[in-house]
Amino acid sequence: MAKNRSLHAASRAKKDEFYTQLYDIENELRHYRAHFRDKVVYCNCDDPTVSNFYRFFKLNFEFLGLKKLITTCYKSQQMDMFSQHDIDTAIGIEYTGKQASKQASKQASKEHIFYLKGDGDFRSAECIELLKQADIVVTNPPFSLFREYVAQLIEYDKKFLILGNKNAITYKEIW
């Protein structure tokens, strides 16, 4: 039987930054294709340099018929094997697909990278302003803030697809 020592240690230390595999995202989101057409998707807990959610939506932008993809993340607190941040500033990206360039065979990306004034916390005023633009939120939020995260999505009346601990269904806020 496999042991979850690293997960339990991460839980105790409130280190709950776990990356979702692209295969799992593709496998789950294929069921919701029609729900994304002409929508703004916000991944507000996703470092765009390593997030497979960002990667999935960017690669499938035209296929899904998205209007816009917005991704933000909490600033890197410490360098680790997963982080690719060179700086300790929170970043975001707005992606609106591809735009035909002068040469018909090449495509120019319409990707706008921006720096957040704050730390990129989903509860910050600037991230809430981005949340207000979104039609659907898709991410893997911090498990330690799951209740607060879901409460915010409900408060702003947002549709969402989020990954969480299966025990979250027992939370009174979720139930």
Q: How confident is the model at residue 125 (pLDDT cuts 50, 70, 90)?
A: very high
Q: In what order do the strands lie in the sheet with 91-100?
A: 107-115, 91-100, 68-72, 40-43, 136-139, 159-162
Q: What is the mean pLDDT of residues 50-54?
A: 93
Q: Which long-range contacts (CB under 8 A, 24 or more apart) does 77-82 make?
A: 82/17, 82/19, 82/50
CA distances 169 to 24, 154, 164, Å, are: 20, 15, 9
Cα(155)–Cα(97) distance, rounded to whole angstroms? Answer: 29
pLDDT of residue 101: 53
The chain-wide mean pLDDT, for the chain, equals 82
Q: What is the mean pLDDT of residues 79-84?
A: 49
Least trusted range by pLDDT, from 4-8, 45-49, 69-73, 152-156 = 4-8
Q: What is the mean pLDDT of residues 50-68?
A: 95
Q: What is the mean pLDDT of residues 12-28?
A: 73
pLDDT of residue 168: 78
In the structure encoding, which two tokens stand for residue 71, read together?
Answer: 């991704």
Inter-residue contact 65 to 32 (CB < 8 Å): no
Other CB atoms within a 10 A radius of the CB of residue 155 amount to: 10
**Coil, strand or helix: which one is 98?**
strand
